[in-house]
Amino acid sequence: MREVRETRDEVRERLVAVAAELLREQGRAGVTTRATAERAGVQAPTIYRIFGDKEGLLDAVAEHEMAAFAAAKADASHPSGDTDPVTDLRAGWEMTIEFGLANPELFALVSDPARATDSPATRAGIQLLAEKVHRVALAGRLRVAEDRAVDIIHAAGTGAVLALLSQPAAERDLSLATSMLEACLAQLVTGTGVPTEDRSATTAAVTLRAEAPHLSALSTSERLLLTDWLDRVIAQDTAHHHP
């Protein structure tokens, strides 16, 4: 039984690798079950047995490629304690933009909402972004709730890549992505722009919220209560500033 499982896994890996090659070379339309099977040296029914259909194969390609990117991004994201967390956040943004522009067909595939919501690889990428945002919060520099900051930056990054990909390669203005990030950071992070109002109380609440799970002087129930209070303060401020 073990040998059968290993053989199936090897065939699956080869099919995913071949489909990824076809996606890069010919786009989504080029990833047919026939072309994939021929290049991988298997019978077409094998694809249906392993993946269900072409869409299942594309899902596997998207997950595999994004998992590889997330791993590479994680390897490049081991900041020391004195590394500026905002600088680290910018570096992650730049990696994402570069990856999207270098892999247009794959990016279009993984940015499809129907796939992104269920993709473990996409969730892993968002988790890496969440970790970077958490470091900004711990440093006392985040103006809004962590999950809101993650949503805004993720949406901005996806939009920036798709906007650039819609332009002819020779005419792309890469400063568009940089300007979009800086616009986000000016609203989300202290020290990167001129806020229209004093948000120091909210920043303090966000910072304490990031620290709350680690406050050993409090009991579990006290930490949960503190977290609930801080979430309400942050939510009220967010509603006030973003009607």
pLDDT above 60: residue 196: no
pTM exceeds 0.85: no
Provide mean pLDDT across the span 26-38.
Answer: 92
Provide mean pLDDT across the span 102-127.
Answer: 79
What is d(CA 217, CA 215) in angstroms, rounded to the nearest whole number? 6
Shared domain for 153 and 181, answered yes or no, is yes
Shared domain for 5 and 77, answered yes or no, is no
pLDDT above 50: residue 194: no
What is d(CA 180, CA 157) in angstroms, rounded to the nearest whole number? 8
pLDDT of residue 35: 95
For 82-105, write each residue's pLDDT tens digit.
679 999 999 999 999 999 999 998
pLDDT above 70: residue 153: yes
Across 50-64, 67-81, 109-123, least confident range:
67-81
Boundary-marking domain end, from 37, 52, 67? 52
Shared domain for 98 and 75, answered yes or no, is yes
Provide mean pLDDT across the span 34-49.
Answer: 93
**Domain span holding position 31:** 1-52
Provide mean pLDDT across the span 4-19.
Answer: 83
Whole-number mean pLDDT of the chain? 85
Count of the separate structural domains present in the chain: 2
Q: Which residues contact 172 (CB under 8 A, 6 or more apart)?
A: 101, 164
CATH number at residue 105: 1.10.357
User: Among residues 137, 108, 124, 107, which one has the least CA distance to residue 208?
Assistant: 137
Shared domain for 85 and 163, answered yes or no, is yes
CATH number at residue 30: 1.10.10
Shared domain for 98 and 199, answered yes or no, is yes
Contacts 24+ apart (CB under 8 A), 160-164: 160/97, 161/96, 161/97, 161/100, 161/101, 161/107, 161/111, 162/107, 162/108, 162/111, 164/97, 164/100, 164/101
Shared domain for 43 and 116, answered yes or no, is no
Shared domain for 179 and 229, answered yes or no, is yes
Shared domain for 48 and 73, answered yes or no, is no
Shared domain for 107 and 184, answered yes or no, is yes
Shared domain for 32 and 90, answered yes or no, is no
Across 150-159, 178-187, 205-214, least confident range:
205-214
Shared domain for 28 and 120, answered yes or no, is no
Shared domain for 168 and 218, answered yes or no, is yes
